[in-house]
Structure 1
Amino acid sequence: MQDKQETPAAAAPKADPPAAADKAGKGDAEVKVEASDNASGLETPKAPGVDTGLDAVPKGAADGGKGAEPDINIEELRAMIEQAKASGELPSGEGTAETAEAAATALENFSRGGIVFGLGLGLLVLFVWYFASESSLRKRLIGSFLAIAVTGMSLWFYKEQGLQEGIEIQGGVSMDIRIVPDEGKEITPSTQEQVIKVLTGRLSSLVAESDMVLAPQGKDMIFLQIPGVGPDRVAEIKKALEKVAKLEFSILHPQSNSLAAAVAADSEVVTGHEALPFVKKEDKDGNPLPPRWGLVRIQKDLTGDAIASAKPMFGQEGWEISVKFTGDGASVMGPLTLKHQNEPLAIILDSEILSAPNILNPFSTGCQITGDFSQQEAADLASALENPLKNPIRVEYANYISPTMGKATVQQGISAGIAGLGITLLFILLYYRFAGLIAMIGMGIAITIIFGMMALFKFTLTLPGMAGIILTIGIAIDANVLIYERLREEMKSGKSIGSAIKTAYEKAFSAIFDANITTLITAIILFQFAAGTVKGFAITLMIGILATLFSALLVTRVCFNWGTESGFVKKLGFMNLVPDKLIDFLGRRKIALIGSSILVATSLIVVPTLDPRGVELKGGDAITLQSEEGLTKQSIESTLDRAEFLEKTPIVQVQQPVGGEGEFFLIRADFGKAEQILEFLKTELDVGLDGAQTSSVGSAVGKTMLGKSALALGIGLIAILLYVTFRFEFAFALGAIAA
């Protein structure tokens, strides 16, 4: 690539001719151009050389690549990359550093993936061997090794990788972003990917990129999560996201000054041209200047796709943006500026003309856009120009969760989980005694597997995920109850302890398997159609079901087999709280049918009347406040009654946390009122409210969630109907679905 020199003459526009460019007012953005050395203004860009700055030579490279395999240490490789970046040998921002880091990450993932694949394959072979073996001793040995190996691996994965905390736990901002399609066009997966790439580039200058979660959601939505961001930056992030930053260049019409205003007022028509406003200006006293218009081509001469980079920099006139064109952009801009010398070139951003200076010399490689920019405005504009959106976007849902609120909620979830687990374990210990102790061992292994697999596959632990873990505890207990009740019956029939255990597991297998498979089918459907953090519930539920099957059908059976074969377990005792009495349920079917009909009819009346839908489904704003001294439901309601900016009084509810102390207040209001309500309450009640959690949901999001929920429910019912019909018969399946 030839060296470029800035041409002073091209940097300062001449006095505008009568029908040419605009005069720069206060804060008027201008353009400085960098002319190329050749006469045409064209440059043929060369492929940049990639210098990694890494001097290390892998083993075997010195002898022409022959010999030992390269001995690559990933940690050393990363350290070398960071050292090269710090010394400037590995330039950042040109793709070299990012490529090197991506290569190191890919190498690390490949290495880890190979280890995990090998371990998984070995365990699979052992599973097949376990179920195929007929020797009791071999089964016990293989089963023991599997239990110890899987548990040990899960603990190691959890210790080494840890769990990624969801935004509900560590606090932050989450948004649902809708992509607005062009007229007559549809949003495609490639459009979603382009928007994700652009938004990632824009947000990287505001937050740490590694902390962001940007993922496609549905057909035209993007799901965004930014942990650790405070409420004061929500507006800044939203503004950066929604800015289209569509940069265009167009030669002004020769009669722009005389025709532009008339074309804007629809009193004149100029074929192939349209009137666009100049950015609003102010005089020295801060008074707005009269609006100005420019007549530009409808088909612009150059668009933002031709921008290779845009960087903020401090120049002689203050902060400016240095724009570099791509090779294709240079091939267009060179002939264009050569042909239209001494004519004004309009620089258009989001359908507003920043400036229209004269072209004094042809140029092709880039330009500087100057104006009344602050440092942050220049940085934001440069980021937007470098990452232009092809489609506008709209933030449909915004939710802020404070770290204090997240920690309190997590503590409540943990307390509820421990309380439920403790009560459940106490019950099975008292009811099933020694068998209950074995069930506890199996349950502990199942929970260990859940956390280990979540750490291995880098699943994020969310509050719905914690709910899935607690539900898994119930599923694990249910499986053990089925086995133990079958074991009780077999022992009553006079079988020996070893024979009774074997028969109990064999007969209970089908019930446990069918119950867990139907739940697994539901979880898979939920994961496929759910949105946002609900996926966390489905993930933990799926992992939990597999862990439950492993612990209930393999771990506990191996424990029983060791006990009976060694003579340690000679008999089992169970508590009997339910009397052996047959209940004629079918004889009471009329009473059950009448009672069910009354309940269904009541629900059909009450539910639409009370409308229990939350903000997530109805749309609007929700504010959750932690209880503070002097803050009561009555004080909040009476204060909000005096708020003139509210069309109707919000709903205030008191929530008592499970396993926690104090109260929470939930305020439901119209869309877009959350920030005003918070500020009004702070002022009127003289309270801090620093731990407030806010969420805003557009009506479109609520309709989408309802639609997805109905779709998931319908598909789930059909899937269960088909499975039960396949396993049993259609009458049983129909009865189950009706229930």
Structure 2
Amino acid sequence: MSKKKGIIRLVVLLAVIAFVVYTAVSGLGSDRSGSLNDISLGLDLRGGVSITYEAVGDVNSQDMSDTKAKLEKRVQDYSTEAQVYFEGSDRITVDIPGATDANAVLQELGKPGTLIFCTDSSDPEGTKVMDGNQIKDAQAGARSNATTNAREYVVNLTLTSDGVEAFSKATEELAPTKGRIYIMYNGEVLSAPTVNEHIASDTCSITGMGDLEAAQTLASNIRIGALPVQLQEMRSQVVGAKLGQDAVRTSLMAGVIGLILVFAFMIIYYRIPGLAASIALVMYTAFVIVLLSAFNEEITLTLPGIAGIILGIGMAVDANCIIFARIREEIGAGKSVRTAIDAGFAKAFSAIIDGNVTTLIAAGVLYFIGSGTVKGFAQTLALGIVVSMFTALVITKNILKSFYAVGLQDEKLYGKTVYTKTFNFIGKRKLFYSASGIVIAIGIVAMVVSGVNGHIFNYSLDFIGGASTSVTFNENYSVEKLESDVQPVVSEVTGDNDIQMTPVTGSNEVIIKTRTLTVDERDALYSKLSETFGVDESTIQTENISAAVSGEMKRSAILSVIIAAIFMLIYVWIRFKEFSFGASSVLPLLHDVFVLLAFYAVLRWTVGNTFIACMLTLVGYSINATIVVFDRIRENLHTNKNLAEVVNVSVTQTLSRSINTSLTTLIMVVVLYILGVTSIKEFALPLIVGVVCGCYSSVCIAGCLWYDLKNALDKRKAKKTSK
């Protein structure tokens, strides 16, 4: 590339990056589309709508549980970060982030009632075909008519096994006479489609919708009517953010400061390549913001989502560290800077692709199997990974080549690496295994002891539920004022700092969530609030609430991690052509999870809504770090068959990358911890431990496990061959 072309390319790249940054900061058009302000934020960051439904008539706990489970699935279409929990024994509250109009949400979500399918609208119970419990799902859609090729709007139904049997029998009888099936909701006919054929499958379509809106309305009413319990709206309100503007502002400030420190580190350590990477990271950050804005109807950003973005930044830095380490090695081997740049990107490609693909596999499994915050985390993680690969392999590469073309060609500006000493990791592996075993054992003991006395972990309200107290103050309190003035008063009565306070928009009402209170504690809290703030005790109301993190969400999170680990094992097994690589990539991952659990158990860190996100972040971070080491082992096996030497050399060669990636990720998280409010600190501190643990396992555990497993499998194979 000539100097002139280099200048032109550099100017074009910087102009594109500047445009993306401008869009991320200011947005485009009057609605500021594409900007940070256009991102859909969760309840913790922006607030939303809270709707409380009450069961009609006498209901049992099983029906209420089934109703809650169905509502949880339904509100996921509105937002992956929506929460559903019990309030008392016959009420269910739905919190939907990002919404500002409670009436609009009610209209879209629907008003729960009784849904039945019958053959005579004047005698619905006497001619009932099936009820809402036999409907799995209902979705609006559009398709081309098979006869006229015109566009038509439909509602696609998915039936349960019982529903298939009942519907098959009814349609078999009605099809010859073109009879109708009436869909009735609370006694009113929603639709009366004609049965054109016998339907024996678990899916069918209702045609004849006038437009997409009509199809969506019918689908919504069918979904909300497919509940075991008839519900009626008790109250709906718009609630403010849980964290407040200061928390959001300090988080953004922490992000900016963290990025600046990362830029400084990269430039000081890697010189010209570090400058190229810093410019690419600016592009990464701005591009992620623009994409989050573009997908604001699909992605709601909360603290777990921020975890996914932080991990994405770590992956973006990691890709650059792998590339730059390779470039330095090539220069150290005597190659020219130009040749070293090309060779560095080429040799780093497989490690970057494998590391990111394994993490993408995890993100995909988490999205399709997980629910709630797990799904939100998976979305931002996948988005960050794709963007990080693009910025590292395309933007950084082109900037670096442009720098070289304009005259920055001295090898001193790039650095070089010559390995003169190899650390004996294999010789120290028993020490590493013992240290990890002791930490995990301490954690298990702490869990057992805590379990005997109560809960094995320090579960927050999100996990075990508690009490929700509605208080109307004599003035409007901001979130910051609530934390400084009200929270200490509540904490004095409850003896617990796990308190969530949410202001109701447009009023002086505040919803205070605490652990479950005894009757005496309720009375004491009411008196204290009245004495301190002049609150009218007669207006205070308290109800017990269930966990916001549902049992299904916990189960799906655990199942997601297990299935993701299996898929990652299979992928690594196929890519590296040995089972030992696959198994040894998953074992360090499990090691990191158990170590972090030990910290949660021993230090009694709060296990709250962000706990799942912390664990998932660790999984993604750990597997990526391990893949980098294995990629180098695979490469070195071509020239050296001494397994111990290969592991020691490979880990030594990737050591700078492991340390530097961990340092840059730690910089981001530590700044977030220092500047963040309490809830953000609870989220950042475990991540700090997770990053350190991930670095330790990839350097000290992964290669050693592969060595032992490889030897064991080879010996077993040799025995079979000798027989």
Q: TM-score scaled to structure 2, two decimals?
A: 0.50
Which structure: larger Rg? 1
Q: TM-score scaled to structure 1, two decimals?
A: 0.49
